[in-house]
């Protein structure tokens, strides 16, 4: 099968989030993991990893695995049943990923997030810096929703949208949704076997949304609708997305070789989109006035260190947007503060090495990290 001319290649991307659905990982009838398939996926991940790509996995399967360990009957589970099943299943899931990745010499790091961690400013910053650190150490984050504590109001419930949020949070340039279908069809293929497959979606229009139907399988919560939702989140933030089949072994290799799948393209770039978000959509809650040395450092692309800050104004929390002004009061840029206003007051003008003793806990070395900073032109 030929890849349409306009779709990108996997090797074009530097940071890739791969979402794996429950029904691929867990063989519901046998009530166990699809070991052979997982091995083949991990061989593909390892190849990309060796090719110096940053890789993150969003893995479902906690509830499904817990269910099989506990021998729960099939059918819908009450919320507390799924939470308890996830508590059992997540251990097995993490163990599986850890074992399988370590066979390729890759270290896994487990991250369990809730809706708030990817949406609420402060926790977003926390989750992101933890993931960044893992990637810097070349460990592979294995992410799932924290199903054991998440109640209906604070949960995603489906890992498609969660994966899209994670992808935008870490400025990934590609999100791969491995699913039990090989992409989007004009109508749900289970209902209309002759439905035409769509290889590439340049823009998510109401017609595209209408193609999604409503179906989802028993094991996974996400049907095509949540995948389209994920596509909207991803493409609005400069991340390309592809829905591909995980029903075959070596599913990533298959995408690279042009297997049937659906690409959702974005015209944006994840870093620019994030910077736009910081510069444009957030209402600044305070001001940091900085000295001339810090202005020069920021213009060279460095982070803002506490030592360069001379005045802190406003009431802001960690993760809030702040305006940064030079000695003449002119706005230099905007960024997300790594400290709240009170702590920022205490550490301004001080060396990063002193932060621990001043605050009594070990904070970040930067007041505003360069990834959270947008510096205007001179």
Task: List helix spans (H) across 51-78.
Answer: 62-70
Residues with Cβ within 8 Å of 273's Cβ and at least 6 positions away in sequence, in order, are 168, 171, 236, 237, 238
147 binds ligand GLU (CB under 6 A): yes
| Contact in structure between 339 and 316 (CB atoms under 8 Å) | no
Among 40, 144, 235, 337, binds ligand GLU (CB under 6 A): 144
Among 145, 182, 320, 371, binds ligand GLU (CB under 6 A): 145
Instruction: Find the part of the chain contacting ligand GLU (CB under 6 A) among 101-109, 113-121, 140-148, 171-179.
Output: 140-148
Shortest CB 325 distance to ligand GLU, Å: 44
Q: How far is CA 72 from CA 77, 149, 173, 320, 372, in A?
A: 9, 20, 39, 44, 45
> Distance between CA atoms of 262 and 181, rounded to whole angstroms?
10
Nearest to ligand GLU of 97, 263 (CB atom): 97
Among 118, 159, 179, 237, binds ligand GLU (CB under 6 A): 159
Among 60, 237, 289, 337, binds ligand GLU (CB under 6 A): 60
320 binds ligand GLU (CB under 6 A): no
141 binds ligand GLU (CB under 6 A): no
> Distance between CA atoms of 172 and 241, rounded to whole angstroms?
10
Q: How far is CA 74 from CA 29, 34, 41, 48, 59, in A?
A: 10, 18, 27, 37, 21
Residue 13's closest CA among 59, 45, 54?
54
Instruction: Find the part of the chain contacting ligand GLU (CB under 6 A) among 177-185, 220-228, 241-249, 266-274.
Output: 220-228
Q: For residue 345, what are its two tokens?
A: 């007051």
Among 62, 108, 143, 295, binds ligand GLU (CB under 6 A): 62
Nearest to ligand GLU of 142, 294 (CB atom): 142
Shortest CB 23 distance to ligand GLU, Å: 8
221 binds ligand GLU (CB under 6 A): yes
Residues with Cβ within 8 Å of 99's Cβ and at least 6 positions away in sequence, in order, are none
Residue 52's closest CA among 160, 170, 138, 133?
138
Instruction: Find the part of the chain contacting ligand GLU (CB under 6 A) among 54-62, 113-121, 241-249, 337-345.
Output: 54-62
Among 63, 111, 134, 324, binds ligand GLU (CB under 6 A): 63
Residue 90's closest CA among 175, 176, 159?
159
Shortest CB 58 distance to ligand GLU, Å: 9
Burial of 333 (0-12, 13-18, 19+ CB in 10 A): buried
Instruction: Find the part of the chain contacting ligand GLU (CB under 6 A) among 1-9, 143-151, 289-297, 316-324.
Output: 143-151
Among 114, 220, 289, 337, binds ligand GLU (CB under 6 A): 220
> Distance between CA atoms of 49 and 46, rounded to whole angstroms?
5
Shortest CB 235 distance to ligand GLU, Å: 20
Among 17, 42, 57, 64, binds ligand GLU (CB under 6 A): 64
CA angle 264–265–271, rounded 5-degree value: 120
Total H helices, total E strands in the chain: 14, 17
Among 158, 229, 366, 371, binds ligand GLU (CB under 6 A): 158
Residue 305's closest CA among 358, 359, 368?
368
| Contact in structure between 279 and 331 (CB atoms under 8 Å) | no
* Total residues at interface with ligand GLU (CB under 6 A): 16
Shortest CB 161 distance to ligand GLU, Å: 9
Instruction: Find the part of the chain contacting ligand GLU (CB under 6 A) among 110-118, 144-152, 308-316, 334-342.
Output: 144-152
Q: For residue 148, what are its two tokens?
A: 């054991």
Instruction: Find the part of the chain contacting ligand GLU (CB under 6 A) among 32-40, 219-227, 315-323, 358-366.
Output: 219-227
Query: By CB under 6 A, what part of segment 67-126 binds ligand GLU?
Result: 86
Interaction site with ligand GLU (CB under 6 A): 21-22, 60-64, 86, 144-145, 147, 158-159, 220-222
């Amino acid at each position: 099968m030929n890849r349409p001319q306009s779709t990108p290649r996997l090797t074009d991307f530097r940071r890739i989030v791969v979402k794996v659905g429950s029904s691929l990982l867990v063989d519901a009838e046998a009530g166990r993991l699809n070991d052979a398939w997982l091995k083949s996926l991990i061989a593909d991940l390892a190849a990309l990893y060796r090719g110096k790509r940053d890789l993150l996995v969003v893995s479902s399967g906690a509830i499904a695995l817990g269910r099989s360990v506990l021998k729960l009957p099939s059918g819908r589970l009450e919320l507390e049943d799924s939470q308890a099943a996830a508590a059992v299943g997540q251990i097995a899931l993490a163990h599986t990923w850890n074992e399988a990745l370590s066979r390729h010499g890759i270290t896994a790091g487990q991250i369990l997030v809730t809706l708030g961690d990817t949406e609420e400013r402060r926790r977003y910053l926390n989750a992101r810096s933890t993931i960044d650190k893992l990637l810097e150490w070349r460990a592979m984050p294995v992410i799932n929703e924290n199903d054991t504590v998440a109640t209906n109001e604070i949960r995603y419930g489906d890992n498609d949208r969660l994966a899209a949020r994670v992808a935008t949070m870490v400025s990934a340039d590609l999100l791969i949704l491995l699913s039990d279908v090989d992409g989007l069809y004009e109508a749900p293929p289970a209902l209309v076997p002759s439905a035409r497959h769509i290889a590439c979606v340049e823009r998510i229009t109401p017609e595209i949304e209408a193609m999604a139907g409503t179906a989802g399988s028993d094991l996974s919560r996400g049907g095509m609708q949540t995948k389209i939702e994920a596509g909207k989140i991803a493409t609005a933030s400069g991340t390309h997305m592809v829905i591909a089949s995980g029903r075959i072994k070596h599913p990533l290799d298959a995408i690279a070789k042009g297997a049937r799948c659906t690409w959702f393209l974005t015209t944006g770039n994840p870093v620019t989109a994030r910077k736009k978000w910081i510069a444009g959509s957030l209402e600044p809650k305070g001001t940091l006035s900085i000295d001339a040395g810090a202005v020069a450092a920021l213009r060279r692309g460095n982070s803002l260190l506490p030592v360069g800050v001379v005045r802190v104004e406003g009431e802001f929390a960690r993760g809030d947007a702040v305006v940064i002004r030079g000695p003449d009061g002119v706005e230099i840029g905007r960024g997300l503060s790594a400290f709240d206003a009170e702590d920022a007051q205490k550490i301004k003008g001080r060396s990063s090495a002193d932060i621990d003793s001043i605050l009594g806990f070990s904070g970040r070395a930067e007041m505003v990290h360069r990834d959270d900073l947008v510096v205007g032109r001179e």
